[in-house]
Amino acid sequence: MNDSTAWFHINNAAGIDSPALLVFPQRVQQNIDTAIAMLGDVNRLRPHVKTHKCTEVAAMMIAAGIHKFKCATIAEAEMLGMAGAKDVLLSYQPGGPKLQRFIELIKKYPGTSYACLTDNTASAKEQAESFTAAGLTVPVYIDLNIGMNRTGIVPGDAALELYRFCAAAPGIAIQGLHAYDGHITNSDFEVRKIEADACFQQVELLAEKIKANKLPPPNIIMGGSPTFSIHCERPGIECSPGTFIYWDQSYLLHCPEQAFVPAAVLITRVVAIPTATLVSTDLGHKSVAAENEKTKRVFFPQHPYLTVFSQSEEHLVLENNSGHIFKPGDLLYAIPWHICPTVALYESVHVVEDGKVVGVWKNVARDRKITV
């Protein structure tokens, strides 16, 4: 693959400062179409917008017939309201000041139906009282802990009683169950499926108990990107992948059964050649997600022999044992290992069509607050 034939090559790179994040709308559209096709029913798709944080991308999804969304922050929820989304789940349990912001958001965007999560009676009581005081009845889902051990209540009798409490609480309109299995990431699809099936069985059993107790039958929102190809086969289940919209190097390697394509790349430039075998670029910690160990932060598709030697705030130093000669100013294209937190490092993305940067989209929900 050379510079002129690579799908990510841009002809007007000389005018683009680096590091920068490029987005390719045609490939974004391809990923949207693939996700809908995998489900066979656009009404079962509730994409998470944490990856793109962008009104223009949300508008592309809405134009494709997607009307249900999931988000993690008030800013992301407001971005969806700005885009005209009809149904938005804040996949977070709001309390205290965040709960008051959520109420303000609901009132500011009456054309959007907002819902949230709860996982314990005390929080549900606070939500119910706050919603009632504001003159609202708000859809709420019970957040389940099915192994992620981050938030949620373990499926069982306590979860059933929480569902019962919410079904009776003024200010709350109980909607169903939310279960995220982000801990299931095995690259072996069969192992991943066994683990995902076991998690879903817990949710399914609780749903059966809810119906047996003559409580409102629950909608089920299940999974993320690694298990999307598994849960999409379950009739009636809503799926909420997020990374699919841009995809990244990690999922390219670990989820090969999913036909999504990378739709965002980084550009970086060589800034120095400190030794005969080291190449220093401007892709530091501030420019690409750095939570993984250093060899799993970025991949150079045109130069796969480059390995990470070190990284600091403003520099990524690469080891080059290939004999290829680099010089300061050389442009490199890189696919992030983890696209979601990488996007959060950029105020905006450069939009590429037909090999040229043609505009800029702002990652408006990158900010912690838009107006609310």
Beta-strand ranges (E) seen in 45-181 are 68-71, 87-90, 113-118, 138-144, 172-179
d(CA 176, CA 163): 8
> Which tokens sit at 203?
């949710």
CATH number of 26-246: 3.20.20.10
Per-residue pLDDT of the chain (372 residues; tens, 9 = 90+): 445 579 999 999 999 999 999 999 999 999 999 999 999 999 999 999 999 999 999 999 999 999 999 999 999 999 999 999 999 999 999 999 999 999 999 999 999 999 999 999 999 999 999 999 999 999 999 999 999 999 999 999 999 999 999 999 999 999 999 999 999 999 999 999 999 999 999 999 999 999 999 999 999 999 999 999 999 999 999 999 999 999 999 999 999 999 999 999 999 999 999 999 999 999 999 999 999 999 999 999 999 999 999 999 999 999 999 989 999 999 999 999 999 999 999 999 999 999 999 999 999 999 999 999
Query: DSSP labels for 2-43?
Result: -TTTSTT--TTGGGS-SSEEEE-HHHHHHHHHHHHHHHS-GG
Beta-strand ranges (E) seen in 171-247 are 172-179, 219-222, 238-239
User: What is the distance in angstroms between the CA of the first residue and the CA of the last residue of the chain?
Assistant: 46
pLDDT of residue 3: 54
pLDDT of residue 5: 72
Superfamily of segment(s) 13-22+263-366: D-serine dehydratase-like domain (2.40.37.20)
pLDDT of residue 1: 41
Domain ranges of the chain: 13-22+263-366, 26-246
CA angle 140, 70, 225 (to 5 degrees): 125
Cα 246–chain centre separation: 9
CA angle 234, 239, 245 (to 5 degrees): 135
pLDDT of residue 236: 94
Which pTM value belongs to this model? 0.96
